[in-house]
Copies of this chain bind each other. A is one copy, B any other.
Amino acid sequence: MLLRRFASTSTLPPTIRQLLSSPQPTSPETKVQLSGWIKSVRRQKNVTFAVINDGSCASGLQAVLKPDATPHNLTNGASVRICGNLVQSLGRGQLYELHVEAVDVLGECNPEAYPIQKQALPVEFLRDNAHLRARTDISAAMLRLRDSVLRSLHSYYEAQDFHYVHTPILTSNDCEGGGETFRVSPVSSSPSSGQSPDSSVQSEFFSKPAYLTVSSQLHLEALAASLSRVYTLSPCFRAERSQTNRHLAEFWMLEAEWAFIDHVGDVCHVVEETLKNILRCQSENALLWKDGDGTKLRSLEHASRPGVPWTRMSYTDAVKELQKYHASSRVGFEFEPAWGRALQSEHERWLSEQLVGGPVFVTDYPSSLKPFYMRANDDGQTVACFDLLVPFIGELVGGSLREERSSHLVEAIQRHGLKEEEYGWYVDLRKYGSTPHGGYGLGFERLISWMSGIENVRECIAMPRWAKRMLL
Contact = CB atoms under 8 A, between A and B. Distances in A.
Given A168-B463, A190-B183, A436-B106, A205 B239 contact: yes
6 contacts: A4-B311, A18-B161, A55-B228, A130-B425, A187-B211, A206-B469
B321 A2 contact: yes
B143 A8 contact: no
Interface string A29-51: 00000011110000000000000
Assembly stoichiometry (copies): 2
Interface string A111-136: 00111100000000000001110110
A187 B430 CA distance: 31
Interface string A193-211: 1111100110001111111
A212 B181 CA distance: 14
A428 B77 CA distance: 13
Interface string A436-472: 1000000000000000000000000111010111111
A287 to B, nearest CB: 14
Given A17-B161, A207-B468, A222-B463, 9 more contacts: A2-B321, A143-B165, A146-B164, A154-B154, A170-B249, A188-B239, A206-B249, A219-B462, A219-B463
Given A191-B197, A222-B472, A432-B114, A163 B143 contact: yes
Q: Which 7 residue pairs of A and B lie closest in terms of their CB atoms, listed nearest first?
A: A107-B434, A55-B227, A186-B239, A134-B226, A183-B190, A206-B470, A191-B200
A173 interface: yes
A35 to B, nearest CB: 4
Contact of A134 (B54, B223, B263, B311): B223
Contact of A161 (B15, B78, B113): B15
A147 interface: yes
A416 interface: no
A313 interface: yes
A169 interface: yes
A2 B179 contact: no
A260 B310 CA distance: 46
A408 interface: no
Contacts of A218: 472
A23 to B, nearest CB: 17
Contacts of A463: 167-168, 219, 222
Given A192-B201, A425-B471, A425-B472, A10 B265 contact: yes
B321 A12 contact: no
Interface string A346-376: 0000000000100000000000000000000
Contacts of A385: none
